[in-house]
Amino acid sequence: MHAIRLHAFGPAENLTYEEVEDPRPGPGQVRIAVRAAGVHLLDTALREGHQGPAPAPIELPTIPGREVAGTVDALGEGTPEHWLGRRVVAHLGFVPGGYAELAVTDAERLHEFPERLDFAEAVAMIGTGRTAMGIVQFAEPGPGDVVLVPAAAGGIGTLLVQYAKNAGATVIGLAGGPAKTARVTAGGADLAVDYRAADWAEQLAPYQGKVTIVYDGVGGDVARTAVGLLAPGGRHIVFGWTSQGLGADSPYLVEGVSTNVLGAEMMRRAGGPNPVRTLELRALEQAGAGRLTPAVHRFPLADAAEAHRALESRATTGKVVLEP
């Protein structure tokens, strides 16, 4: 099979397209003929050698990637035969191997997904959709809310805009550049603002003191402006900080207003014997019902390095996916 391998930590150019031996599923596992593999911002950090939340050091060479969708083409010993030939999507956890034509995972990680979704969209929902479902637990929007979403053209942002709009809220989306703001408008936002424009903050002046929820994955100056628009009792839900590192003294965090939702509390709120799977199921159900439609930015598998560069430079729109 062909796969993307990383032999040395460093820049995107270190991702190479190679021919490697086909993997074989072990007991209780399946092998998936991959049709789409998700690319996450965390993948770029792991590629550079940052350990991040990975539970064990990354051994090189490695095949990156933790989200795949495709068709089951082989079974390991003891795996139920009904999985063979099924369209499935799975998050591999911190076991790498997604950037490939074939990937192996435990059968208990599999989800069949709705027919209305293609493979790339299923990948978007299993990772990005799961996270979006975890975020809204902390501030469920409703008809009386004014919701502001920075990075509204991104994978998570696109879903948060749709979710809030479906709930009856007034939705403001921020994005960089006219092409992205056009996508935000098409996605249902009542107002789309280009935060690269010199007067972007002034465009939000009519909402001063009226915003009730900020879903923030950006941080930095954008977040500071957004927090300044909050109404009394408004909530600032922080799930990322792509513009600026997050620390206890970050100037845009406000005690009693800002909530960092990354970590164990997200899983605790999800509930169930397997909270991660609970959120995955919610995401797939929302997509299957047509309430959420993920935006997908597709690259050929062989162009994984280009996909990483585009993601790091914010040149992508929606979930980045590699297609063999």
First to last CA, the chain: 10
| Domains of the chain and CATH, by start | 2-129+273-323 (3.90.180.10), 138-260 (3.40.50.720)
Q: What pLDDT band is residue 246 in, cutting at 50, 70 and 90?
A: very low
Phi first, then psi, for residue 201 (nearest 5°) are: -65, -35
User: With 90 as the cut, is the pLDDT of residue 50 above it?
Assistant: no
pTM (two decimals): 0.90
Residue that wins the pLDDT comparison between 266 and 23: 23
Residue 90: the pLDDT is 97
Residue 56: the pLDDT is 78
Q: What is residue 219's three-state secondary structure?
A: coil
**Interatomic CA distance for residues 48 and 23, integer angstroms:** 25
Centre a 10 Å sphere on the Cβ of residue 59 and count the other Cβ atoms it contains: 7
Considering only the C-alpha atoms of the chain, give the largest distance between any 2 of them, rounded to a whole number of Å.
Answer: 63
What mean pLDDT comes out for the span 117-126?
96
Instruction: Name the average pLDDT for the chain.
Output: 92
User: With 50 as the cut, is the pLDDT of residue 139 above it?
Assistant: yes
The answer to whether 69 and 119 have CB atoms below 8 angstroms apart is yes
Looking up tokens 């003891």 gives 78
**Six-digit token string for 316:** 């992508």
Residue 93: the pLDDT is 87
Burial code of 119-132, b = ≥16 C-beta within 10 A, e = fewer? bbbbbbbbbbbbbb
Q: What is residue 12's three-state secondary structure?
A: helix
What mean pLDDT comes out for the span 303-315?
95
**Interatomic CA distance for residues 298 and 280, integer angstroms:** 21
**Interatomic CA distance for residues 263 and 138, integer angstroms:** 13
Residue that wins the pLDDT comparison between 24 and 247: 24
Omega within 30 of 0 (cis) for the link into 61: yes
